[in-house]
Amino acid sequence: MTNQRYPTPEAFKQALEQRLRTTVTSGALFARKRQLLVFDRFLARVVARPSAVICRRHCCWCAATSR
């Protein structure tokens, strides 16, 4: 797999969702795979920068800080 840069976050999201759509056969499966991808990226951020995550009352927020 090659590293590709996208000009905007929206372009990245569109490319990612298009790639997910080509691998699934139903809308429900697409939604589930997208949900798993989002959660996986959230966990990657937590592991990379635990101090940037605030958990309170069963909810978590990632602080949008520049790297």
pLDDT digits (tens, 9 = 90+) for 41-59: 888 888 888 777 777 666 6
Integer Cα distance of 67 and 64 in angstroms: 9
Integer Cα distance of 17 and 10 in angstroms: 10
pLDDT of 63 reads 60
Whether the Cβ atoms of residue 39 and residue 33 lie closer than 8 Å to each other: no
pLDDT of 64 reads 55
Under DSSP, the state recorded for 55 is: E
- Segment 9-26, tens digit of pLDDT: 999 989 989 999 998 888
pTM of the model: 0.63
Integer Cα distance of 61 and 4 in angstroms: 28
Tokens encoding 43: 């966990």
